[in-house]
């Protein structure tokens, strides 16, 4: 079973995204971003990290992403945000982006990161993106 680490500054978001991930058959681990620190779980065999972008913390999303990449170098980071696209400053640190409130897109993107093959949803999104470039 794939292990997904969910990192957010809001305990209710950690609970919600854990529920979504677990219902899809993954194991969810959580890490709450505090005012000035992030306590990561002891588990080091993480397959994917889901990270919130906007944090109410002294730590920025970039600070957290760097720490995550150092601690879990093999785990791709999936950024969650209410922004309409991947924030430019996260591009070098993240493998994927999902707009908050899109649970099916979140699960499809997780499947792509874990299994290397995009679902029909991802293929359609990529096709639409190419049309606008």
- Above pLDDT 70, what percent of the chain? 87
Domains held by the chain: number: 1
pLDDT at site 19:
97
Q: What is the mean pLDDT of residues 74-96?
A: 91
pLDDT digits (tens, 9 = 90+) for 110-133: 999 998 755 444 455 555 555 555
Decide: helix, strand or coil at residue 86.
Answer: coil
Residue bearing tokens 């649970």: 103
Structure token digits, residue 55? 């944090």
- Residue 7 exposed, middle or buried by CB count within 10 Å (0-12, 13-18, 19+): buried
Residues in the chain: 133
- Structural domain boundaries enclosing 84: 3-131
pLDDT at site 106:
95
pLDDT digits (tens, 9 = 90+) for 27-41: 999 999 988 889 898
CATH of the domain at 59: 3.40.50.2300
């Amino acid at each position: 079973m794939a292990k997904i680490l969910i990192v957010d500054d809001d305990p209710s978001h950690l609970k919600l995204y854990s529920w979504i991930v677990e219902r899809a058959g993954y194991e969810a681990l959580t890490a709450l971003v505090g005012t000035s620190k992030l306590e990561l779980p002891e588990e080091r065999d993480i397959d994917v990290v889901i990270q919130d972008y906007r944090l109410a913390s002294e730590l920025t999303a970039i600070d957290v992403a760097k720490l995550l990449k150092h601690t879990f170098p093999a785990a791709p980071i999936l950024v969650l945000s209410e922004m309409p696209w991947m924030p430019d400053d996260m591009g070098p640190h993240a493998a994927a982006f999902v707009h908050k409130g899109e649970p099916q897109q979140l699960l499809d993107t997780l499947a792509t990161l874990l299994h290397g093959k995009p679902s029909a949803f991802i293929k359609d999104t990529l096709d639409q993106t190419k049309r606008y470039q």
